[in-house]
Structure 1
Amino acid sequence: MFDHRTLGRELGLFDTDPLIGAGLPYWLPDGAAIRHCLEDYIRGVERRAGYRHVCSPVLGKRELYEISGHWAHYRDDMFPPMSSGGEQVVLRPSLCPHHALIYRSRSHSYRELPLRMAELGGMYRSELSGVLGGLSRVRAIQLNDAHLFCTPEQVASEVSAALDMIRGAHRALGIVPARYRLSLPGPGGKYIAAPDMWRRAIAVLTEVLDDSGLPYERAEGEAAFYGPKIDVQFTDYAGREFTLSTVQVDFHQPAQFDLHYIGPDGARHRPIMVHRSMIGSVERAVAHLVEVHGGAFPPWLAPTQVVVLPIAEQQLPEAIALTEYCADRGLRAEMRPPELGSLGARVRQSRLVPYQAIIGGEEAAHNTVAPRLRDGRRVDPLPAAEFVERIAELVGAHHTQLWDEKE
């Protein structure tokens, strides 16, 4: 594995500046392309799974986090309150209180449940400067977060479906977890004092993990302050373990915010809140992708997916036309002309690009390309349109493979 802090800067994905501040990296164009592609993938998967997307502010009144429990249990990791119009507002450390309020803003029937709410939103953690590094530990976080509001009868199936989504995302990204962890409360006072709530939530997560057939370990002291979690653990280049994806069962916040739905009996009932993050923060996910793939990202995620290489100036019109056609098909393509160096030099410069389309005199005359793949394979010349459609198909399906051999 690679250290993403070094390689990410070498690849021009992100950087930092002391005038912006520690733990506040900015994204360069290639890094932003990866980030946006990852976000589009997440939203697409969520839409197909019946999630509805919302947008909520990154600020909230201090009172909001007092109600949620974050202020009592988490304020050491929050930025200090700011005074505004006689009120104290806080940069949010989590999205769940906002989503609880969005749920509460409308009445709900049991027929509407499960209600699946998702957001790619900003949150902020006052991390100590000594633990900050690259993209893996930052102070401004873009979180892939979702909250599912469901009946007690639905909670196990919703947790199971969320776990399946997480595993599907890992396959598409070409990453493999180190282990699955059932994160439980431990000794100490950082947890909500509600034994029955903990027992019920732990029973649900245990049932789902047992039914999944996945090996997992129980870890005391790793739960959220309001409930137990399934954490999907990975390791970085130095062998350090971290959590990337998580599913949590929460009985606490629905009670704190007095959330309810109308049941078939016409009475008010309390929903259960399931927290789910497919890839955790975008920053930490990209850090891990850099370390695992070394810059050779899956084709659908690569910042440049196709590089068009005309052999001589005479093939520039065909090369420009092919580059534009790739863009029309939604591919990220560049044309690198002969003035940038010999063909061999340009091929070497493009070694991390999944697909190289070489156009010489023969290809220009017959509207074909001579494809080369990132792994060194050469493909027999293809009509330019067929070459582009093959790539668009693989990219659209979020495959990790480079090429699909056709009959």
Structure 2
Amino acid sequence: METTAMHDHRKLGRELELFDTDPLMGSGLPYWLPAGAAVRHTLEEFIRERERRAGYRHVYSPVLGKRELYEISGHWSHYREDMFPPMDLGAEQVVLRPSLCPHHALIYRSRARSYRELPLRMAELGSMYRSEPSGVLGGLTRVRAIQLNDGHVFCTPEQAGDEAVAALELIREAHRALGIRPVRYRLSLPGEGGKYVADPALWERATALLTEVLERSGVPFEATEGEAAFYGPKIDIQIADAAGRESTLSTVQIDFHQPERFGLRYIGADGARHRPVMVHRSVIGSVERVVAHLIELYGGAFPAWLAPTQIVLLPVSDDELPPADRLRQRCLDVGLRAEVAGPEHGSLGARIRAARLVPYQAVVGAREAADDLVALRLRDGRRLDPLPAGQALARIGALVAAGSSDLWDGADLWDGAV
């Protein structure tokens, strides 16, 4: 895997035109530029597909909810200081949601459920909002509008441990694919004060289950008081930024509180009604925080499958612009993100230097244009002899589709044309 020294994502993200901010939008509300949007979209598709293969079904839910919804969930009494103020809407008050779990609880209870349906795995890439103090906001790591990779498993009490283990393994697999190396696993427990739900039996039961999950998964962990969610303990997977500051990326929680609050039920094999357990999990956390981490991890030199531009086409002169444009279209047709950097952007050497973070550079000179060839330069410094364009694009497309960390396999696997 190609890695670089870690960088400050706030500086590099703006230099690479991934994201930016504007005072008129407000603090903690960054916007995504086209290159950053391409990275974000690719990550979203990556996690949706992995969740789909793990048995999750995706839903969409509104970013607003009635204040009453969060009174039932417990957010209003335990988490109100981190929520935006309610908005009057006729005789009702609505709130920008601070969490997706109450909405998913309502989706679960929208009809009767049988034990035969469980575990029911529900996932959503959804927006939520936190009223973060201005002093803690920064880049993409602490924001007020969050796109969260969230998910909830509704299951029987007997299934809860296995589902939490599976969620933790899904997280670890995704991290490996992205090149993320957590700095530690934390069992987050309650601290003192009224921030937490007052139910000692609930806390003891959930803590014992999560401890067993960590031990079964074979990961070393540290127990830390005062970091739990208000309704239960959680497993936090911690990462560190370029300055060594630690933050939580991914989580697993076992929740007995909200199923009780929302009156969730399922019909068991005995014909009686039973209470399900909610397993909360976020595989890659918020899109904002994971992109910030990946910018710093790779220094902007993303793996080819994740790079905002995967191949840049470099016509030597204006005469090669038309064939370079046609080659760009062929790249797009096979699913590659491609751009043309023509002579109007400077000398060939200057354009090569400007595209140093792009995985593939394809020089198109007179010979390449005449014979349908490309002369590839790889980001790692290797240069390849001119290849038939169709063969080169097919091989790049295969490596990208496989999520490979290698830029070239060194074998002539393809003899067809694109």
Do both proteins adopt the same fold according to a TM-score greater than 0.5, normalized to the shorter chain? yes
Structure 2 CA distance, aligned partners of 1:48 and 1:150?
A: 18
- Structure 2 portions without partners, runs of 5+: 1-5, 413-418
Matched, 1:165 2:170: yes
Aligned-pair CA distance for 1:273: 0.3
Measure, in 1, the Cα distance between the counterparts of 2:95 and 2:370.
Answer: 64
Q: Offset of 1:190 from its aligned partner? A: 1.4
Kindly state the Cα deviation for residue 381 of structure 1 after the two structures are TM-superposed: 2.7
Residue 190 of structure 2: which of 158, 182, 185 is its match?
Answer: 185
Q: What is the aligned-residue identity percentage?
A: 72
Question: Match for 1:35 among 34, 40, 64?
Answer: 40
Can you give the 5+ residue segments of structure 1 that lack an aligned partner in the other structure?
Answer: none
Which runs of structure 2 are paired with 1:170-249 in the superposition (5 Å)? 170-249=175-254
For 1:129 and 1:237, locate their aligned partners in 2 and report how far apart those are by CA, in whole Å: 21
Q: How far 1:217 sits from its partner (Å)?
A: 1.1
Alignment match, 1:368: 373
Kindly indicate whether residue 401 of structure 2 is the aligned counterpart of residue 396 of structure 1.
yes
Deviation at 1:334, TM superposition (A): 0.5
Match of 2:29 in 1: 24
Quote the Cα distance in structure 1 between the aligned partners of 2:21 and 2:279: 35
Match of 1:14 in 2: 19
**Partner letter of residue 97 of structure 2?**
R
CA-to-aligned-CA distance 1:7-66 (integer Å, 9 cap, x gap): 111111111111111111111111111111111111111111111111111111111111
Structure 1 runs of 4+ aligned residues shifted over 3 Å read none
Q: Deviations for 1:244-300, whole angstroms, at most 9, x for unmatched residues?
A: 011111010001001011111111111110111111111111111111111111111
Are positions 1:359 and 2:364 aligned together? yes
1:404: Cα distance to partner?
Answer: 2.3
Distance in 2 (CA, whole Å) between partners of 1:9 and 1:37 is 19
| Cα distance between partner residues in 2 of 1:334 and 1:54 | 34
2:341 is the alignment partner of 1:341: no
Shift, 1:132, TM fit:
0.8
Q: Which moved more, 1:46-55 or 1:92-101?
A: 46-55
Offset, 1:196? 1.8
- The residue identity in structure 2 corresponding to 1:280 is G
Normalised by the size of structure 2, how large is the TM-score? 0.95
Superposition pairs for residues 6-405 of structure 1, below 5 Å?
6-405=11-410
How many residues are aligned here?
407
The letter for the 1-side match of 2:173 is: G
Structure 1 residues 290-334: Cα deviation after superposition (integer angstroms, max 9, x where no partner): 111111111111110110112233333332222111101111100
The one-letter code of the counterpart of 1:263 is G
Distance between the aligned counterparts of 1:11 and 1:346, measured in 2? 15
Tell me the TM-score normalised to structure 1 length.
0.97
Checking the alignment, whether the CA contact within 8 Å between 1:371 and 1:379 is kept in structure 2 is: yes
Q: Distance in 1 between matches of 2:161 and 2:251?
A: 15
Identify the residue that residue 3 of structure 2 maps to in structure 1: none
Deviates more, 1:359-368 or 1:332-341: 359-368
What does the per-residue CA deviation read over 1:168-217, in whole Å, with 9 as the maximum and x for residues that have no partner?
22122222111111111222221111222212211221112112211111
Alpha-carbon distance in 2 for matches of 1:191, 1:404: 54
* 2:37 alignment partner, SS class: helix
Q: Take 1:118 and 1:158, find their aligned partners in 2: how far apart are those partners?
A: 14
- Answer whether contact 1:191 1:224 (CA < 8 A) is retained: yes
Separation in 1, partners of 2:276, 2:385: 58
- Secondary structure of the residue aligned to 2:79 is helix
How far apart, CA to CA, are the structure 1 residues paired with 2:368 and 2:209?
A: 60
In 2, are the aligned partners of 1:233 and 1:242 still within 8 Å (CA)? yes
**Alpha-carbon offset, residue 382 of structure 1:** 2.2
- Match of 2:158, SS state, is coil
Asked whether the equivalents of residues 174 and 400 of structure 1 are also in contact (C-alpha less than 8 Å), the reply is: no
